Structure 1
Amino acid sequence: MAQEVSPVTPATLKTNDTRALDALTGGAFSAPTSGERTARVREWLAANPSVEQMQEVFRELSARDKGAARLLREKLDEIKRNRGQEVIAAEWAEKATALLALPKLNIADAMAWQRDAAKAGAPLSREPLASVKTQLAERVRGIEDLQHRVQVQREAAVLLAQRIEVLSTKSWQDAQAALDALGKDVPDWQGQAEALLADPNWPSVDGRFPPLLESSRTQLQVVWESFRSAVAQARAAAEDPAAALPPVPVWADELRAARGVPVEAAPAKAAKPKVDPEVRERASHAVRDALAKLEQEVAQGHGKASAGAANALRNALKEHGKLVDDKLENQAHAALAAAGELEGWQRWRADQLRQELVTKAEALFEHPAPVEGQEPQPPKPRYGGRKMQEQLRALREQWKQTDQGGAPNHALWKRFDEACNEAYKVVEAWLDKVKAEAAEHKAQRLALIDEVRVWAAANATAKDDDWKGFARVLHQFESRWRDAGHLSEKTFAELQPRWKEAIAAAWDPLEAVQKQSLERRHAMIEEAKVLGAAPQMRIDAVKSLQQRWQGEAQAIPLDRKHEQKLWDAFRKPIDEAFNRKSEEREKAAAALSERDRAVLEASKALEAANATGDAPKIKAAMTALEAALRGQAQAQAAAAAAQEAAPAESAAPAGTAEAAAEGTETTEPAEATEATEAAAAEPAPTPKPTPKPVIAMRGDDRPGMKKTEPAPARGKFGDRKGGPGGGKFGDRRDERGRFGDRGDRGEREDRGPRLGDVAFRAQRDALDHAQAALKKLAAQAHGEALTQLITAWEQRNPEQVPSAHDLGKSVGPAGRAAWVKSLQGAPAGDASEALLRLEIAAETPTPAEQLEARRALQLKLLTRRNDPSPAQTWADDAAQVFASGHEGSKSRRLQAALKVLLRR
């Protein structure tokens, strides 16, 4: 019987592959936990499997355990990166080999190779680039060393020439003695120069160095040959008097003196002819300008510019040399000498400037100081991306200017370029970030433009006529556009027209409604002008117009500045009309009545008393102000005027008596006398006492009822049975009358005319200030009295107990006498229960350790219902405390309780 073959499916193949991979990785797929799978994958990777196997395992394992597959992904990325670096390394190694094979190597090309290779990501620290990099560095170092030796040889040639020149100023015998030493030094210098020319790196030397060496070599050879021939001629002239004298003036004079021939005096220098001062001034000015320009270029180290300035100064001297004075001519020659030296040795000055730039470039990073026991920290950039970019641009621009004024220095350039490249990494990271942000901002703005267009198409009018909400949404769109981030000028110029078109289309419905609203508002402004110009102000019309304006303003929003201008134009005529009414009202109220003046004067007097802080004065001033408010001051003034007028009126009856004796009847004066006597006998109106403030009390406080008795119970519907007005539903017609009149209550007090605004505010403020001052003074007096009382207890001194007036109305004379008696004897008794009673009476907190005792005392008081409460016997309890000894804790508890009780 044939065996049945199971069908082959993708799931079966995948299961078989998984088993094979599990066996290949040592059980990475069958491990129960992620940590075990990661460990087995790490062990398998240590055996260096092939890339294909790792890719297959990663493909299957990444769907099961991403944590374990991370090791495979990192390993595959590393292999991929290494392969890419190998290709790059081979490419740059080939370029370096080609550079090394050149007979003439340019140092700048070698440095540029290293910089470009680092930017391309080539692994310079690994072979073969590491060895090639070393070879290039050694080749560059050899070239720079050879160039340095050329400069040294040139300086040595200058020194040898100076030695020969100095010997020409001395005796010819000294020169003859130094001839042998010079005969050895000059050939040695020639041999060293030949060695430089034979160096393999000589073809790679900068093109300016071979001419320098050749000129030094030729000049030294000429000077040496001339010196040897002059010495030989001087020796011959010394041996043979008939021989020719040497061309050296010092030696010729010495030989003439040896032969006995007199030395000829040097001819006197001919005086310069007189020249016109103006011509001489112009010549001096031209030479000074050229000299100043040359000195400036020399000071800045510009070799090329100094050469042109030197030529200009030479031409000026050729043209005006005979017209300038000796001092200016010497300055010009000294400047030309300095310029000549700068042309030959300008590298020194340029190197100084380059060294400063290198220092600045290396200072763009902060290097933290090393700490013992810790790893060295990487350098930190001093500036951010934009600031670093500006610094690098400035430094590179200064380096270019320095290269224009002097010969290049590749060693310093290498250091400078490395420092700038390291700093440019910060700029690159910043630029990448800026580019990413710019792309994101552009996407946001494009999305916002599309959103505005969609919204404008869906909102052709405001929903529910909410135009303010419509404008609010548009303003939110504009705010989002302003806050959408930075864009480049080019991108912003592309997006701005599209945004304006979209937002303008969204604003169109609101602008149409705003145009109609403007027409309505201008019409209301004209109505306001008509109302304001009317002789009689119509308040109802003004209110109606203002309500219409407010409704229009709340419904249709406008630009804030424009809306404010319209509101000002609308409000102006109405305000002017109201101002006219106010002016008329103020004119009417300008003349204060006699009562207002009296109130103002009394208010000022009360304010002055408040400033003194004297309670009696304040109370007296308050009484005077209340009298002025009730018009009593005017009544008293009228009574005084009547008393003054009484003597004048009493003279009239005497005259009438005389007339009666003469037979004339006069009855009217007698009646006037009786009226005057009656007015004099009438007493002056007495001021009414100040009404006492109403105090809420328990019990029935209705008229005719006892306050100590409780109010009667209410009926079913709240009517009061048995009391006055106890009718149905609390009807009180017997007291008030039918329509709420007050029945038998007296007439309200006639308070006179109302006070003016100024007088009313003045008296109100004065009274408020007076009450506050009295309250403050009372609090101060209470505190002083309490402190004095505690001090009397501490010192056992009855004389220091405050008076009954200072203690207040809550302590009677009997209570104060008990306190004085308690302080007269020696301390005795326990006052713990008395203190607890005082704290219960004052409702002040008790210390934690005395809480149990206080609860026990409260239970005890509940069982003694007929005993007086602590609130009634607190004065006696205080006397019991004063009879005991003084302690700090007891003093604080007593002071806290008395502080409350003395104010009641």
Structure 2
Amino acid sequence: MTSTSSKHQDLQSLDTLTGGAFTAPTSGERAQRIREWLAANPSPDQMQEVFKELSGRDKGAARLLREKLDEIKRAKGQEAIAAEWAQKAEALLAQSKLNIADALAWQRDAAKAGAPLSREPLAGFKVQLAERVKGIEDLQHRAQVQREAAVLLAQRFEVLSTKGWRDAQAAEEGLRADVTHWQQQATELTADANWNSLDAKFAPQIDASKAQLLVVSDAFHGALAQAIAAAADTAAPLPPVPVWADELRAARGLPTEAAAAAPAKPAGPKIDPEKRAAAQAAVEVALAKLEQETAEGHGKASAGAAAALRAVLKEHGKQVDAALEARVHAALVAAGELEGWQRWSADKVREDLVAKAEGLLKRPEGQALGGRKIQESLRTLREQWKKADQGGVPNHALWKRFDEACNEAHKVVEAWLDKVRADAAEHRAHRVALIEEVKAWAEAHASASDLKAHNRALHQFADRWRDGGHVGEKVFAELQPLWNAAFGAARAPLETAQAASIERRQAMIAEATDLGAQPMLRIDAVKALQQRWQAEAQSVPLDRRQEQKLWDAFRAPIDEAFNRKTAEREKASTAMSEHDRNVLEASKALDAANASGDVQKIRAAVAQLEAALRGEAPARPAPAPVPAPVTSGSDGPAVGATEIVAPGQAAAEFGEGASVQPVPGETEAPPPVAAPEPDEAGQIAAPAPSGDLIAPVGSADFSARADEGDNAAAATPAAPPKAAPKPVVAARRGDDRPGSRKAEPAGPAGRFGDRRDSRSGPGGRPNDRGPRAGGPGGDRFGDRPPRFEDRGPRLGDTAFRAQREALERADLALRKLAAQAHGEALTHLLGAWEKRDASELPSVQELGRAVTPAVRTTWTQAVAKPPSGDAGEALLRLEMAAEVPTPADQIDARRALQLKLLTKRGDPAPAQTWGEDAGKVLASAHDAATARRLQNALKALLRK
């Protein structure tokens, strides 16, 4: 008990510490409060305690703490690594002789070890080492430049020794100053702090260049002094420079040394022809090889062939003729050019590769490459560099730049690889935990009854496995069999139930096939079978495609049976009744009237269609002969059940069951034919045989009513027609409810529950439809109207749709014509006002029912007079009556008028005096703005 209370107190304290993270209702709120708490930089101990308690409650919120703790752990590890590499950097900087390779290797190895090179103190050491390396490289470059400068100075001395001694004397002072300056620079190089860090070859090179330059300089100055002395004194010795000595001999009038010492050219020894031919053949073979390699563009092969040709030429060069020697020199020149072109081409390729390597990290912010892309790019660039080295002489300077750029870009790859390894380890642990969770879940739900929940959980496990993150191929190959085994064990109960469900569904498919093959479709059996199928589908889930395939196989025979039933029903209803034909003809006549655009024709056609709908016969060209007395049909009600005194009224009063007889002198109305209706079992009753009397179809006791009609027909004679036409009504005799006897008058006795009305005559009648208009007691106080409106006989689908669409089109045409007439009348009104011509004013019929003759007379008088008065207030009253907006500049005036009207409660409102206000406007002068406002107001008022 004490431990439980202490744990509860700890949770409360942790909840208070984290700002309510433990008591938050949702995972998102817990994560948000953990983020806010972590923003305050809590101590690692507090974070560890909160993580320990929260990891078992909300893994999503605990992940934030785990990431923060991992970050702190990595930071501590990086501090130790940083201290270690800082010591190594200090040791390198403390050396008097620093090796550039060691400095570069420190940065590369530190990055591989994960040292934070971007933070202090490693960032400072990195900069110091880079500056030290740069200083050493600059010193090396200066040493190389100094050596080249010494060579150039020596070449200047040599060039001056080939010119006259007077030119050398003029340039002597400049050369002496340049030599002195070179010596000072060489001394500065050796005094630099980084001189000891240079390669050992640089110090001997500088010393040798210095010694050589001093020797050449001393010899030049000594020879020049001797030449000056010889020019002044002819007895003085000549200088050792041949050009100067010849110049002085020429000045003294003596022959030059070359002319005096030129001996006669001895004749060459005779060469053996066989040796000459062998030498010629050897040189030609080497020459052909070189020419072939040069023509094919092989740089390295042509260089080897050229070397072989030089070796052969050194051995047999004295024995070849001049033509072959010229070919040899031309081939050697071409091979040298090819070798130089190959070197230049390879350098161009290397420079492009260096630019690409340096550009891997110099991309815009939104176009930076990821670790994988950089890794693939580095691999490709290094392969291309190897191919470039194979085709030409290596270039160490470009290789150094390329290697540095690749190493710098590889830091991003290493960071990405570290992240990939960490993510892969985390994903592997997550997948292993998921496999264990599936195993435990499978053991706990081995006998599950809710298969839908079982299937849903399996889908969730599969989604979690699919979204478990990337792992290597080796790890995936290791984990996939374990997952398949665990998931298969979890899925085994569902697969067993699915196999049994498929068998049951196959049995129901066979049962549905048997039901569909029966001649009479049993609706109750079909419904029961469908309910069984739905119950099975809801209890045992299947794969969507398999379930759809089974469902299609199940419904196919039932759909086929229903389609067969529908075809039979449509075949039975294809014979259109006389009433439907009359309605169709009236609908077509109404469409023709709509096309004509004549309002009178449209209204007359609508009246004819409504009469056809009520069952009234259309006018015939010739009167039909008077029919014989009507006899009852086998399915119709008894003759005399309803006394007919006018055509169409009985049908409107009593519906389809009333018999209609024509009045002498009028056209006979065709008997209405009722459309068949399905009964409760989904069957369609067979249509009644053609006859003068049709019984109503659709009642449950149709056969009983038919039998009663047959019995009543024998006892009751047909009612004779009246002698003269007069206003008539339909008189009801007896009760036509199912089960009643139509031939006998209704007595006081009736079925249980019938209500009798004393006003209906002796004994009353059932109060099911209310009193008939014009019947006994029809005009007395308290009589109720008929319950059903006069809709006429029942229509078929084709006739019903045709008359409905025809009426809709007629209504739309009438509306369009009315709007058009209204707009034309309003236009004529404004035109009469503008011309001040009362004869052009529209008539009362054109203006509509909203304008009385008195109002039109007022408008006529206003238009006929010269313009006078102000129409401002009248326009405002018109706009208020029509409820249309007022122009912006008249808003204040309208508000003032509204306030004024509020103070005069006894005055009529603008809606009552709009005709007089319109007359005031018409009496004023015409103007475009006023006419526009008047038109907007009258457009609304004339429609009311």
When normalised by structure 2's length, the TM-score is 0.52
Shift of 1:530: 0.4
Return the match for 2:529 from 513, 526, 545: 545
Q: What is the SS of the residue equivalent to 1:407?
A: coil
Distance (Å, rounded) in 1 between the aligned partners of 2:810 and 2:334: 94
1:348 aligned onto 2:392: no
**1:811–1:902 Cα contact (<8 Å) kept:** yes
Distance (Å, rounded) in 1 between the aligned partners of 2:294 and 2:793: 101
How do residues 509-524 of structure 1 correspond to structure 2 at under 5 angstroms? 509-524=493-508
Find the counterpart in structure 2 of residue 854 from structure 1: 898
Q: What is the SS of the residue equivalent to 1:584?
A: helix
How do residues 502-901 of structure 1 correspond to structure 2 at under 5 angstroms? 502-590=486-574, 592=576, 596=580, 599-600=583-584, 603=587, 619=603, 622=606, 625-626=609-610, 629=613, 636=620, 639=622, 682-684=665-667, 734=759, 737-745=765-773, 754-786=794-826, 788-790=828-830, 792-793=832-833, 796-798=836-838, 801-829=841-869, 834-835=874-875, 838=878, 841-842=881-882, 847=891, 849-858=893-902, 860-861=904-905, 863=906, 871-885=911-925, 894-901=934-941
Shift of 1:599: 4.8
How do residues 284-323 of structure 1 correspond to structure 2 at under 5 angstroms? 298=298, 303-304=299-300
**2:451–2:494 Cα contact (<8 Å) kept:** yes
Specify the code of the residue in structure 2 equivalent to 1:546.
Q
Residue-by-residue CA offset, 1:77-106 (whole Å, 9 max, x unaligned)? 999888545412145458994747xxxxxx
Find the counterpart in structure 2 of residue 360 from structure 1: 356
Distance (Å, rounded) in 1 between the aligned partners of 2:443 and 2:76: 53
Find the counterpart in structure 1 of residue 470 from structure 2: 486
Change (3 A) 1:522 1:117: closer
**2:829–2:842 Cα contact (<8 Å) kept:** yes
Residue-by-residue CA offset, 1:545-602 (whole Å, 9 max, x unaligned)? 1122222223322111011001000011111111222222333344555655565565
Specify the code of the residue in structure 2 equivalent to 1:770.
A
**1:819–1:882 Cα contact (<8 Å) kept:** yes
Shift of 1:891: 5.5
Q: What is the SS of the residue equivalent to 1:809?
A: coil
Shift of 1:341: 4.7
1:244 aligned onto 2:272: no
Percent identical among aligned pairs is: 54
Question: Which stretch of structure 1 is more off in the superposition, 543-552 or 473-482?
Answer: 473-482
Distance (Å, rounded) in 2 between the aligned partners of 1:542 and 1:470: 31
Distance (Å, rounded) in 2 between the aligned partners of 1:855 and 1:887: 28
CA-based RMSD:
5.8
Q: What is the SS of the residue equivalent to 1:743?
A: coil
Find the counterpart in structure 2 of residue 501 from structure 1: 485
Change (3 A) 1:92 1:525: farther
1:400 aligned onto 2:386: yes
**2:868–2:925 Cα contact (<8 Å) kept:** yes
Change (3 A) 1:127 1:387: closer
Residue-by-residue CA offset, 1:47-69 (whole Å, 9 max, x unaligned)? xxxxxxxxxxx99xxxxxxxxxx
Richer in helix (by share)? 1
Change (3 A) 1:565 1:733: farther
Distance (Å, rounded) in 2 between the aligned partners of 1:572 and 1:310: 90
Question: Which stretch of structure 1 is more off in the superposition, 761-770 or 605-614?
Answer: 605-614
Change (3 A) 1:858 1:753: same
Specify the code of the residue in structure 2 equivalent to 1:806.
E
Distance (Å, rounded) in 2 between the aligned partners of 1:477 and 1:500: 12
Change (3 A) 1:764 1:98: same
Residue ranges of structure 2 left out of the alignment (5+ in a row): 1-43, 46-74, 156-162, 164-197, 204-257, 272-287, 308-326, 627-661, 671-754, 775-785
Q: What is the SS of the residue equivalent to 1:636?
A: coil
**2:92–2:103 Cα contact (<8 Å) kept:** no
Residue-by-residue CA offset, 1:345-404 (whole Å, 9 max, x unaligned)? 632221111011122223335578xxxxxxxxxx88643333333322222221122122
Distance (Å, rounded) in 2 between the aligned partners of 1:836 and 1:494: 89
Change (3 A) 1:858 1:460: farther
Specify the code of the residue in structure 1 equivalent to 2:505.
R
Residue-by-residue CA offset, 1:422-461 (whole Å, 9 max, x unaligned)? 4334434444444454444445444544444454444445
**2:608–2:618 Cα contact (<8 Å) kept:** no
Specify the code of the residue in structure 1 equivalent to 2:901.
L
Shift of 1:534: 0.5
1:413 aligned onto 2:409: no
Residue-by-residue CA offset, 1:218-267 (whole Å, 9 max, x unaligned)? xxxxxxxxxxxxxxxx999x996x9537999xxxxxxxxxxxxxxxxxxx
**1:124–1:133 Cα contact (<8 Å) kept:** no
**2:844–2:856 Cα contact (<8 Å) kept:** yes
Distance (Å, rounded) in 1 between the aligned partners of 2:78 and 2:463: 47
Find the counterpart in structure 1 of residue 182 from structure 2: none
**2:89–2:106 Cα contact (<8 Å) kept:** no
Shift of 1:524: 1.2
Distance (Å, rounded) in 2 between the aligned partners of 1:823 and 1:99: 114
Distance (Å, rounded) in 1 between the aligned partners of 2:564 and 2:445: 48
When normalised by structure 1's length, the TM-score is 0.54
Find the counterpart in structure 2 of residue 258 from structure 1: none
Find the counterpart in structure 2 of residue 475 from structure 1: 459
Change (3 A) 1:616 1:535: same
Specify the code of the residue in structure 2 equivalent to 1:824.
A
Distance (Å, rounded) in 1 between the aligned partners of 2:836 and 2:331: 105
Q: What is the SS of the residue equivalent to 1:537?
A: coil
**2:593–2:601 Cα contact (<8 Å) kept:** yes
**2:501–2:540 Cα contact (<8 Å) kept:** yes
Residue-by-residue CA offset, 1:747-786 (whole Å, 9 max, x unaligned)? 9999776443333323323332332343344334434544
Find the counterpart in structure 2 of residue 88 from structure 1: 88
Question: Which stretch of structure 1 is more off in the superposition, 438-447 or 612-621?
Answer: 612-621
**1:613–1:777 Cα contact (<8 Å) kept:** yes
Distance (Å, rounded) in 1 between the aligned partners of 2:863 and 2:510: 88
Shift of 1:742: 2.9
Find the counterpart in structure 2 of residue 390 from structure 1: 376
Residue ranges of structure 1 left out of the alignment (5+ in a row): 1-57, 60-74, 101-107, 157-176, 178-199, 206-233, 249-286, 312-330, 369-378, 644-678, 688-729
**2:86–2:125 Cα contact (<8 Å) kept:** no
**1:841–1:870 Cα contact (<8 Å) kept:** yes
Shift of 1:477: 3.1
Distance (Å, rounded) in 2 between the aligned partners of 1:508 and 1:461: 10
Change (3 A) 1:878 1:542: same
Q: What is the SS of the residue equivalent to 2:620?
A: helix
Specify the code of the residue in structure 1 equivalent to 2:397.
A
Change (3 A) 1:489 1:336: farther
Specify the code of the residue in structure 1 equivalent to 2:518.
A
Q: What is the SS of the residue equivalent to 2:918?
A: helix
